[in-house]
Amino acid sequence: MLEWQNLEVWKEAHRLTLEVYHLAQELPDKERFRLSDQMCRCASSVAANIVEGHARHSRREYIQFLYVARGSAEELRYHLLLAKDLGYLKDGRYSELDKAYIQVSKMLNALISSLRSKDANS
């Protein structure tokens, strides 16, 4: 199996995590323990669950962690929408991040499908 650092989906999730952390620093101080923390937790959860799943002993467990990662990506999409609707995030930057997380979800779906097909062929 590939090392997790070589997975394109992990690379993209990590890159986006860094971007979300920078964005969170731009939010008003009053959002530090609300929206900003939630966004950072969701973003890091995507990459962290890819890593944790990769370290598990079975494909089934790996797939379960990839589902959690996908759920975190979708939760973050909501937090990004909320930040936009509250006026903290401009439409263009919101659209860019939203599209990037849609792509991460698609990449996670592809990895899940690939792992499932390996189970079916085993």
Confidence of residue 100 (pLDDT cuts 50, 70, 90): very high
| Sign of the alpha-carbon torsion through 10, 55, 113, 67 | negative
What's the CATH fold of domain 4-121?
de novo design (two linked rop proteins) (1.20.1440)
Confidence of residue 32 (pLDDT cuts 50, 70, 90): confident
* Amino acid present at 87: G
Per-residue pLDDT at 12? 98
Per-residue pLDDT at 122? 59
| Spatial separation of the C-alpha atoms in residues 97 and 38, rounded to whole Å | 16
Q: What is the DSSP string of 108-122?
A: HHHHHHHHHHHHHH-
Per-residue pLDDT at 86? 96
Sorted by where each begins, the domain ranges of the chain are: 4-121
